[in-house]
Structure formats: structure tokens, C-alpha cells
Structure 1
């Protein structure tokens, strides 16, 4: 095991790992659906609530404190994502922000224009754009899945992204297969035709280093509850685009960036939690600036998760009757989706929860196009295991033991 990664110290910062049910510890493998919250985030939220809450732009102390909190959170998120603080907007969640953006971006789309989405993505980065296309009479085109590599087929981008393309929506990493997409190639092609690019980085931010400006995308979306924080959505929007956009909002509400996207009173305590989540990542890294510390911390997380992933991948590939849906090579996150022959995935996860206290999810995870293409609905979707920096090799061993015990107690799997 990686002696340089302070796993015991890390686990001390996640109170949920201490929970037991029926005298048995709970093991959290459900990170892709939402990680456990780090204590820095919990304490920041508690401190804000305890010290007196207020709305923005007042003359009194608690209001000024809230103003400072939101400003500092924008700066921290900018350092996390590689953008400017005035490009960072908060919202209820990524899906709500994407639908709001689709309404305003519709002003740039006309009948016969083309919108490009993918077969690999979570529907939060598909359906908002499908809705926009239907309303405006635009044509939807899909970047297809390569079923052999479980990655997007980018060989025929010239046919998919054309001078008629107005918007391309693509995920940086699949929340099912863990595939890390070569979004640079997609962005380069889109920009050659002056198309807008929306990146879904919800699954990528907890595992990969982000640099929005280096990528050259127009919009990057993510959610804090996927990287150890509370349920708050984040939209990073290129300032020159953001300035031009008009949103449905109350007439007296601010019309400046980034506030004009933030309709209504925001989740101030949740935004306080984002600061704590980023602080945790910082403390794992080194460097002079917060940005340097975040990048270093993410690199350590990635290195540790790769060690755990290698062990689990070898096991899952070796089990008779198991099928692992994961690229054989290339960049991948620590996410494992698999099925077991002749078994409903929900029955498997229920058994693992009942007898081993394993938090493992099942279903299509809103990647329903992918589920249909790969024909996993016959199993009720996938069984999905996601690894986070609070997981241990001992927990991986428990999972392996549990899956073997499950197989042993049934005769449904042909050997």
C-alpha cells in the first residue's frame, strides 16, 4: 500500500466512516452517487449557522460576513477549476443549472441548427440540450459509443461537428464506466466551427485535476457533494460569454456576473461547506498557492485511488460470471460497473448491504442511453462500486470476500 498517502489521517476527517450497524462497520463504495462529507465542510457549515446567518448586501456584521463567505468560496472554486472567481456561479445542483443554461443559450439556436451530445453521458448533460433542440427546431446529433473500448468514437468528428453546430455537450468522465474522455479533441473541433462547449465534470472533479481555461470550454458544470462537500451545484462560465447571457430572473435582481445566474437566496451554509471540502484537498497537497496545493492534493488522491483500483479490477476480471464494464486501458477514474450472470443487480446490492454493510449502488445511474446500448437492463442495470480517498485496501478485501460469499450461496451463475 502507498505509504505516502496518509489514509488513517484522512479517515479521521470523515466522521461517517465510524458508523456501525449491528456492531459491524459500514463501508462506503457509493462515492459516484455522492461522497461522504469531510469534517472541514461540516464544521464550516456549523460555524456559519452558529455564528448568525444573514442575507447578502446588508450594512451589519452577519450580512457582511456572508458577503465575504461567498466571495471567498468563489475564489476557492476558481482555484479548484482553473477559472476566474467572477466566472463561478452557485445553484441547487448541476441538473438545475444545466436546464437554466439551456433556456438562455436557446437564444443562440435556430431552426435547423445542430446540437451535439453523446451516448456515454449522464442525462443531466443530454436532456437539457434535447429539450432546447426540440423547442427551437434544432437537429440533435450523437457522438457514438465504441462498444469495444467503452469510450466515445471520436474518429468521425468531422461528420458530427459541422459549421451548423451551435453547441456541443460532452462529459469529461463517465459516472458508469469511469472512462475519461479526450475532451480536448472535441473542444478543438467544436471551436473550429465557433460552437459553444459545455463540459459535465461532475464525475471528473473528485478524481482529476481541472483547468477550465486550458481546456478552452465555455461552460464547466460540477457538484460539491461529489467532492466531499454538501449538495450545491457549480457552474463555471467563460466571462466573455457570461456577460452576454440573459437569464430568467426577478427584475430587481443583479444583472452582473456571476450573480445574474444565482436566482433567489443561495444555500449560504452549503457554500461554506464547499470551502471546507476544498480545504481538505489543499491539505493533502504542497505548494505556495492554494491552486498549487489543490493540484498536488488531487495528484495524491489519484495516485492512491489507482492503487486500490488495480487490486479491485484484477479481482472483478477474474470472477466467473462477472462482466466488468470498464476500458481496458487509457485514463479512467476509480469507478467499476459490472453485472453478474443471471442475477438482478438490486438483489446483489441488497444482499451485500444486509450481510456485509456495504454501500453499493445499482441501476442505470441516469446514463440510460448507455444502459440500453450495452443491454444491461435485463439485469436491472449495473452494480457500481466507486472508490474514494477514505477507502482502504482492507475494505477492498471485504468486498471481494462478500462477492465470493454471495456467489457461493447461489447456484444461478454458470461456471
Structure 2
């Protein structure tokens, strides 16, 4: 971790953070379900709708402007993910829809007895699309966790990979408990067996830098509304895969990549908003560049790619500081249990994003979320679609857990306020 870093100045770029309830500023800790958007996003979407609103591939100005915006957004996402080419970026409604579309396409190339590996730790959007292939005779194997710290059991994964494995689907970070998986190691294990790798990076994308080339993943999906942008899904795929697998599309549509995977008219204003989100992160990276001038992790990157990697590294470092404050405070609350990595040693903080699932004895998670919301503190309860994990932890039948999810626009003062309220709520039930 770098020296102490303060990103509170960037709160001014988020208009929603000015909202108050009962005279108190709202605290947005519902970030794992979707972050607030930067001002640059609002301006980009408004500008598109005012100046360029049209369908693509026409001969007139607004249509041509739409084509330019789509191309600009592809390059922006290629820079964000360090993809080799913007042609490896596919847009869609959301990660779930994109995963279902590709699972169907990949399934067309599989035979009965072929195997796909999923995990207990994942959001169901990276499980259900692969389970659907069981109707073709595909065998689904599920990797377990270490329940004591809710980390993926890599030994179990290694034992399940074999010569029949065709694809390994795993999350970059858990949307429920924050665990970061060793994606590079998992990819190496899968590729050694000749299997493809599908990475759900929805939960990780707002919290740290991603380099798809260094990871060597075959596919990676994320959602712009989780990293300060609009509701839009993004898929990275190695070009040879985007060209190889059969795309389900209407007959007149282009067969070129990546357009062959983008069925129907896209959310053009959302695509414009994505550019705004990347512009915001680029700005953050440029302003933090001096803090990371000698950081060897950033040596491979130049230009906007370097600025984006600086931004995401700064965000990661700042959020680890927040986690180092939050986790001990939660542990002091009587009857509160944290599910997942709860230590604050540097190696432990490096294995999680600031997403925390917890329960308090005598309090239903929905009641806790409701009480927090009444005090202007927004947080989720339930299973957050991490169904397999909640079942494995024995929480599904008990209302799941309360989820507290921070991002870089949250502050130490907010942590103290939330801890105080949780302490009050815990005491009221005992």
C-alpha cells in the first residue's frame, strides 16, 4: 500500500452526494448494487440526446456522430481494460444478458459430457447461464469455498479441472463478501487443461486496475453502472473467440466483430455516458499521477491507459484505508458477525474489496437495512443474487445478510457515523 491517500476532493464530481434526509447527508453504501454517476456522465448523456440522438450507420450528421461516439467508447473501454484492440469490446444491456447470449453461443460448440466449472462464491449471473447448458448434456462442476474466511478453495478447483473441462467461469471479486480471487492463477490452471476462462469483473471493476492481456483471460464482463457510469454491460473477448463462436443475430446485421454480438439497437446515450465515466477516471488518474510516478506496477502503461491505471490503483489504495478503519469497528459491535476476510493486515486487505456482508444477532437483515435507510444510510440486504454462497453459509433461509459496500467517494467520517448507528441498533435488540 502506498502512503496515506485522500480522495475526498473527488466527491464534488458526484451531484447525488449532496442529497440529504432529515438534515443529514445521505451515505451511499449500496455501491455494490450500483454506484452514483459522475457529473461527466450526466453531461455526456445529455449532450448526446440533445445533439446526436439517432440510430447508427446512416449518412446524415447525427447518425455519423453516433457512430463516432460508439467507436470512441470502444477505445475508452479498451484503454480501461488494456485490451489489444477496441474490436474486442462488446456492448450490451448488462452483464447477465451478455453472459446468457455467449453461454448459448459457446454451448453450440459443446458436446454431451463436456464440463464447465462454476463456483459457490459467484453471483448467479455467472452460474445460471452455464447451468442452462445442462440440457445439452454438459456437466457442471461447482468449486467450494473455505467457509471460515469465504475464499475460493483453489485446491478443489484444481482437482475439478480435467481433460473434459471446456470453460471455467469465476468472479474477479465476490459481490457478497468482497473476496478477490486469484484470476491469473485460475487462468493458468484452466489454460493448462485447454479450457477457456470467463471472468465476471462486475464487482471488481470499480475497485482496482484490470489488465486483460496480462491476465490472459479469454472473456471478461463488467457493468458501467458499477464504476460510476450508466446502466450498460461491457464484454471483453479475445478477437479469435469473437470471430469463432456462432453469434445469434438478425440476418441483415453485420458479421464483423464486435458488431455481430450487439443485437438490435444499442443504448447509445448509455454508450456516451460510458465515455463520461472513463473521462472522470482519467481526470482522477492525471491528478494522482505524481503519487505514483515511480510505481513499478504502472511502468507498462502510457497515455490514457497509464492515467486509468493510476486512477484505479489510487482508488484501491484509498479503499484499503477505509477497510482498515471499517473492519475493526464492525468487530467491536456486540453480536455482529462478518462473513469473509475480516483482518486488516496488508496481505488480507489485498485479498478483498470494501464490500462487507454481516449479521447482528437478534436482527433480521431487512430490518437493519430499513433502519439504516430511515437514517439516510443506504445499504442492501438479502442474497444480492449470490444464491449459492448464501445457501452454503446457511444464511439464505434467514434473510441473507446486511451488505455494506464502500467506494472511493465514501469517507472516514461516514464510516464513523455508520458504526455509531449500527452500535445503537445492535444495543436496541439486546
In the superposition, the TM-score normalised over structure 2's length comes to 0.92
Corresponding residue number in structure 2 for 1:410: 429
Task: Specify the alignment match of 2:189 in structure 1.
Answer: 189
Partner of 1:94: 95
Match of 2:411? 392
Deviation at 1:5, TM superposition (A): 2.6
* Unaligned 5+ runs, structure 1: none
- Superposed CA deviations along residues 286-317 of structure 1, whole A, max 9, x for unmatched, are 36511000000111111111111111101111
- Which of these residues, 363, 373, 385, is aligned with residue 366 of structure 1? 385
Unpaired runs of 5+ in structure 2? 290-301
* Separation (CA, whole Å) in 1 of partners of 2:19 and 2:157: 49
**RMSD of Structure 2 on Structure 1 (CA):** 1.3
Aligned to 1:342: 362
Summarize the Cα distance change of 1:109–1:272 in structure 2 as closer, same or farther, 3 Å threshold: same
TM alignment of 1:246-265, pairs within 5 A: 246-265=246-265
Partner of residue 129, structure 1: 130
Give how far 1:279 is off. Answer: 1.1
Matches within 5 A, 1:14-413: 14-83=14-83, 84-132=85-133, 134-286=134-286, 289-327=303-341, 328=343, 329=348, 330-354=350-374, 356-411=375-430
Between the aligned partners of 1:130 and 1:282, the Cα distance in structure 2 is 38
Whole-Å separation in 1 of the counterparts to 2:407 and 2:158: 37
1:23, distance to aligned residue in structure 2 (A): 2.6
Q: How far is 1:377 from its partner? A: 2.6
In structure 2, distance between residues paired with 1:192 and 1:308: 38
**In structure 1, what is the equivalent of residue 296 of structure 2?**
none
Q: Pick closer, same or farther for the CA change 1:269–1:140 going to 2, 3 Å.
A: same
CA distance in structure 2 between the aligned counterparts of 1:279 and 1:114, rounded to whole angstroms: 41
Contact 2:334 2:426 in 1 (8 A): no
- Give distance in 1, aligned partners of 2:392 and 2:111: 30
Measure, in 2, the Cα distance between the counterparts of 1:6 and 1:130: 41
**Closer, same or farther: CA 144–11 of 1 in aligned 2, 3 Å:** same
CA-CA distance at 1:378 after TM superposition? 4.3
TM-aligned CA deviation for residue 199 of structure 1: 0.4
1:311 and 1:24 map into 2 onto residues whose CA distance is: 22
Aligned counterparts of 1:261 and 1:377: Cα–Cα separation in 2: 36
**Which string of whole-angstrom CA distances, capped at 9 and with x for unpartnered residues, describes residues 227-260 of structure 1?**
0000000011100111112211100001110000
How far the C-alpha of 1:4 sits from its partner, in A, is 4.2
Could you tell me how far 1:326 is from its partner in structure 2?
Answer: 2.1
SS in 2 for 1:400: helix
Displacement of 1:46: 0.5
**Secondary structure of 1:285 counterpart:** helix
Alpha-carbon distance in 1 for matches of 2:25, 2:361: 29
Do the aligned residues in 2 keep the contact of 1:342 with 1:379 (CA within 8 Å)?
no
CA distance in 1, matches of 2:219, 2:429: 48
How far apart in 1 are the matches of 2:358 and 2:156?
A: 29
Query: Does the 8 Å contact 2:319/2:354 carry over to 1?
Result: yes
Deviations 1:338-364 (A, max 9, x none): 00112110001111111x210011010
Residues in 1 aligned to 2:182 and 2:382: alpha-carbon distance in whole angstroms:
26
Matched residue count: 407
Give the whole-Å Cα distance in 2 for the aligned partners of 1:344 and 1:52: 49
Aligned partners of 1:301, 1:156: CA distance in 2, in Å? 32
Report if the CA contact (8 A) 2:247-2:260 is conserved. Answer: yes
> Relative to structure 1, is the Cα distance of residues 281 and 79 closer, same or farther in structure 2, using a 3 angstrom cutoff?
same
Structure 2: distance between partners of 1:371 and 1:3: 35
- When the two structures are superposed, what TM-score results if normalisation uses the length of structure 1? 0.96
